[in-house]
Amino acid sequence: MNAEEAKKRIEELRTLVEYHAKRYYDDDAPEISDFEYDMIMVELRNLEKEFPEFSSKDSLTQKVGGHVKKGFKEVEHEVPLQSLQDIFNFDELVEFDNKIKKAEEEHGKTTKYVVETKIDGLSAALKYENGILVQGATRGNGLIGEDVTENLKTIKTIPQKLKEPLNITVRGEVFISKKDFEQMNEERALEEQPLFANARNAAAGSLRQLDSNITASRPLDIYIFNVQKIEGKEFESHYEELLFLENLGFNVNPVKIPCDTIEEAINAINKIGEEREKLTFGIDGAVVKVDNLSLRQDLGSTAKTPRWAIAYKYPPEKKETILKDIICQVGRTGVITPMAILEPVSVAGSKISKTTLHNEDFIKEKDLRIGDTVVIQKAGDVIPEIVEVKKEKRTGKEIEFTMPTVCPVCGAEAIREEGEAAIRCMGIECPAKLLRNIIHFVSKEGMDIEGLGENLVQQFIEKGLIANIADIYTLTFEDIASLKKNGTKFATNLINAILDSKKRPFYKLLTALGIRHIGTKSAKTIAKHFKTIEYLMNAQKEELAELEDVGSIMASSIYEFFRQEQTIDLINKLRDAGVNMKEEETESKEQRFEGLTFVLTGSLENYTREEATSIIESFGGKVSSSVSKKTSYVLAGEEAGSKLTKAQSLGVTILTESQFEEMIKG
């Protein structure tokens, strides 16, 4: 490679590294594995070494990635929180040892090594004054981090007060254990929320929350691994420091192996690798540290890394196993997800017997068949995934898999909508969707049944009192009162709220049914046009698609929804319960806003958004969520934001609340 080619490649790699570093450090949402990122960094570092004329202090090989997140105060670290030089083979470790030996001769000192696990988490510094925790900060760019004191105080293993009244700053790694991480992702899968890519980013995202209540709800832990600064005490060795930190009450990294030679250090690294699966926490390597603190001072640091420590990175572990079966699970929103049932195999610390296959397209892309020999890898060393099919090992007995056309839980039709990868159960009475459907049905946007929250609904379901949405209207006073001590008043209020919900406008029922793609705005349009549930249920796709605010996708969704047996059964039950299913004829008002489009922004003093919208619509006007040249008026309250700015730039008329009231009065 000549100099011109090297320069071009270095620029490409720097752009790539900066992008992925931002996704990793700032967004806590990596797009590639740690190993892939490391390999890009290795190539960049080697090229910069070979062509030093193109080296730059702004390269991420020379500085720590990461920036302070907006909303956090900045903390300037008294002692920089540096990163470590990564190596990937033992030859590089021997080279590191040779440099240390040379420094020993030069300074007339000797040292041992300490080998520790490189915990896969987020680095943080804890500052204590007189033994009291006064500040906690993330690493950030190594020099300036984020003040996350209140968030760190929610971690139970961080002592708020030390056993001695010391002024000390320590460094540790915030992490989530393997067991807790898997449980978090299982819960997110049930809620059909995006899964965390790995434990490190889950921990980082949890710690860097602006709301400490969210942090407190996450199972964060910490291991301390270094004294950054201490007053009134001196130590000769790093290992001595770690033992002192344990006595002070800190949760210190449990894997810390003293080694006399580099050969012992290599043995320790191999031992950690062999026993990696037994660790309760995730690691992405092993760290070799000079134990002699005085020699550390002599060795010093570069701008990015200390010269007295180095990190050995383990390669990602892959194992072969058999794809025994593919089953389908139904999530709470009805998404049917294929799951691989595997011959159990141990990979990177845990036994894998199943993994998600995501969707139909993933199975087709990999050409997966039941009976295949597949290669398993843990993405980010946490989430198991199938990365390869060993087609050369096929015997001809493998079975092709097709996604079901009916729900495996309730037997309702399963449909894949155009432009989507997911297949969904259409059954509104499907047990897998029951909790989610009821929560939506009773919500403020739906039937607005005050007092009927998720915990209470869950109890009704567990006791067999609710098996479908319509059972809400069969609940008795005794059913409700039995769930609370002295629940008489609560039961009375909830019964009244349930009875009141029967009188809700027709559009509220349509919103509450949770028809895919149908929100409050389109529900109002549909209710106004069809007037009754009977007319709507008999409507054809073409008629539905012609409605304003509907279109072909919504039309198909509505049409298919009302063709399901479970939907018809539910509508009949709700009708028998006395729930309103028609648009009430209201006294016609002057249509003074006909043809006018309003946009609401900011907080109004005398009206909620919903109330203002109802008033505008009652006079024949429309309410839009975005400002355009077609907008007639922008009704602006307190703390109006970007919509107001855009309206001003487009020359749209701005209304104050008092001007709006004058228009209502006419």
Residues 44-97 pLDDT 10s: 888 888 888 887 777 767 655 555 556 688 899 999 999 899 998 999 999 999
Sign of the Cα torsion 137, 140, 143, 144 reads: negative
The helix (run of H) or strand (run of E) holding residue 183 is: helix 178-190
Instruction: For residue 293, name the pLDDT band (cuts at 50, 70, 90).
Output: very high
**Separation between Cα atoms, residue 69 and residue 147, nearest integer Å:** 10
**Separation between Cα atoms, residue 381 and residue 33, nearest integer Å:** 9
The pairing of beta strand 633-636 with beta strand 597-601: parallel
- Which pLDDT belongs to residue 118? 93
Q: What is the pLDDT of residues 177-206, one digit of tens each?
A: 988 988 888 888 777 777 776 788 888 888
CATH classification code of 318-400:
2.40.50.140
The DSSP secondary structure of 233-258, one letter per residue, reads ---SBHHHHHHHHHHHT--B-S-EEE
pLDDT over 90 at 99, yes or no: yes
Higher-pLDDT residue of 28 and 516 is: 516
Map out the domains of the chain as residue ranges. Answer: 3-62, 78-312, 318-400, 431-576, 597-665
Contact in structure between 55 and 63 (CB atoms under 8 Å): no
Q: What is the pLDDT of residues 24-55, one digit of tens each?
A: 666 656 666 666 777 787 888 888 888 888 87
Q: What is the pLDDT of residues 556-580, one digit of tens each?
A: 999 999 999 999 999 999 999 999 9
Instruction: For residue 286, name the pLDDT band (cuts at 50, 70, 90).
Output: very high
- Which pLDDT belongs to residue 487? 76
Coil, helix or strand for 381? coil
Q: pTM of the entire structure? A: 0.52
Tokens standing for 35? 């190993």
pLDDT over 70 at 584, yes or no: yes
Burial of 407 (0-12, 13-18, 19+ CB in 10 A): buried
Pick the CATH number of 3-62 from 1.10.287.610, 2.60.40.10, 3.40.50.300, 3.90.650.10: 1.10.287.610
pLDDT over 90 at 369, yes or no: yes
- Which pLDDT belongs to residue 585? 64
pLDDT over 60 at 588, yes or no: no
* Catalytic site positions: 118
pLDDT over 90 at 229, yes or no: yes
Pick the CATH number of 78-312 from 3.30.470.30, 1.10.3720.10, 3.40.50.300, 3.30.429.10: 3.30.470.30
Average pLDDT (441-445) is 93
Tokens standing for 398? 């493998």
The residues, any chain, with a CB within 8 Å of residue 151's CB and separated by 6 or more, are 136, 207, 208, 209, 212, 215
- Which pLDDT belongs to residue 472? 96
- Which pLDDT belongs to residue 382? 55
The helix (run of H) or strand (run of E) holding residue 350 is: strand 350-356
Percentage of residues in the chain having pLDDT higher than 90: 54
**Separation between Cα atoms, residue 637 and residue 521, nearest integer Å:** 22
The residues, any chain, with a CB within 8 Å of residue 133's CB and separated by 6 or more, are 126, 127, 149, 152, 153, 158, 159, 160, 161
Least confident interval from 6-15, 79-88, 394-403: 6-15
**Separation between Cα atoms, residue 198 and residue 383, nearest integer Å:** 7
- Which pLDDT belongs to residue 586? 56
Architecture of the domain defined by 597-665: 3-Layer(aba) Sandwich (3.40)
**Separation between Cα atoms, residue 157 and residue 170, nearest integer Å:** 14
Domain 431-576 has CATH 1.10.150.20: yes
Higher-pLDDT residue of 99 and 639 is: 99
